[in-house]
Amino acid sequence: MRTQVGIVGAGPAGLVLAHLLRRQGIEAMVLESRSRSAIEATVRAGVLEQGTVDLLDALGLGGRMHREGAEHHGVVLRFDGRSFRLALSQLTGRTIMLYAQHEVLRDLVGAWLATGGALRFEAEAVALGGLEGERPTIRFRQAGREEELTCDYVAGCDGYHGVCRQAIPTALRRELVRVHPFAWFGILAEVPRLAPELIYALHERGFALASTRSEHLQRLYVQCDPGDRVEDWSDDRIWSELRARLSTRDGFSFRDGPIVQKDVIGMRSFVVEPMQCGRLFLAGDAAHIVPPTGAKGLNLAVADAWVLARALAERYAKGSEERLARYSETCLRRAWSAQRFSWRMTSLLHRFPEHDHFQRRLQLADLEEVARSHAAALSLAENYVGSPFEE
């Protein structure tokens, strides 16, 4: 079995890369260890930067996103019982789109298969070979049989637990990890929209986030202990914490309702350096993970795919490997910028076990500065909406 670019993983990075390569006339095959129904049903955050929205539009995949997603021109920071609206579009000229990741994947998968794209589900990559040569291989297992895909280049888009990152020799890679001392307890609830825009709340009891999926389905989070289990949180406890943490001095009310999904989301930061080795190029969660506070994960994956597609296009069209040689450097620059912003948002809005009253007052002072200073608000807004993809 032979292709030009073998893509391991049908997440945002792998599928966007596949679509971009096809536009350049480059053949690609995607291998995905899970079933189609599994990847399309896994609910994850979906705050899309303007650059991601524009790219999906350019690929002809933005129709349903614009019909069913929600374009937001601002977000709300809530602290000390007060709310401050960060006017994203007014400050930056750019907006964000709320559109769940599994919906993005449905659009990407559907369009890829509808046009005859090669994608094998339930095909688990087990080993990579020949990465330093001209014909690397991907060995994978499907339906109880092992097969081998030979390609010119391998795109490792198989997430944190995949085999691609492990194929880089330990002597050549450095993994930087920070595990945070809290988690998010997330729910999907069949209730009316709590507010017109996202709410990020700092409270004595911990962080809370109110997001939306539709007019009658909301995604809500509260900071919790990383050792918490789903069964530790009754519906009454969840709604009580949300009401307390989202409260305001002038009153803020919402109606609770049926909770259709509960999960505990661990919080960690991770980067591997470099993101390439021979003819293997990592993208998305295989290379970096950011806390969800900054809403950067999916957008970083798409940016990686965009950089790699341009580099491969240059290689096949002109024979130049200059962009490929700079792939890791280019992507890591954006990844570390996202890590810095995600860390700022996380440290700004969460209660840490070691925090005393002094540190809590510093958090409030930082938020106050964003509320009163145009420069501080502009900096936060520019980072939140994201920078244009690297040229």
Catalytic residue, candidates 203, 221, 292, 350: 292
Max alpha carbon distance in the chain (Å)? Answer: 66
- Assess whether the previous peptide bond of 136 is cis (omega < 30° from 0): no
Provide the token pair at 103.
């919906």
Residue matched to tokens 């945070």: 180
Q: Which residues contact 206 (CB under 8 A, 6 or more apart)?
A: 182, 222, 223, 224, 241, 245, 350, 351
- How far is residue 245's CA from residue 232's CA, in Å, rounded to a whole number? 19
* DSSP-derived pairing of the beta strands 137-142 and 123-129: antiparallel
Q: Can 384 be counted among the known catalytic residues?
A: yes
- How far is residue 294's CA from residue 344's CA, in Å, rounded to a whole number? 8
Catalytic residue, candidates 200, 221, 288, 327: 200
Q: How far apart are the first and last CA of the chain?
A: 34
Q: Can 296 be counted among the known catalytic residues?
A: yes
Q: Can 200 be counted among the known catalytic residues?
A: yes
Catalytic residue, candidates 19, 288, 296, 350: 296
Catalytic residue, candidates 153, 221, 327, 384: 384
Q: Can 72 be counted among the known catalytic residues?
A: yes
Question: Could you count the other beta carbons within 10 Å of the beta carbon of residue 366?
Answer: 17
Catalytic residue, candidates 72, 203, 288, 350: 72
- Enzyme catalytic residues: 72, 200, 292, 296, 384
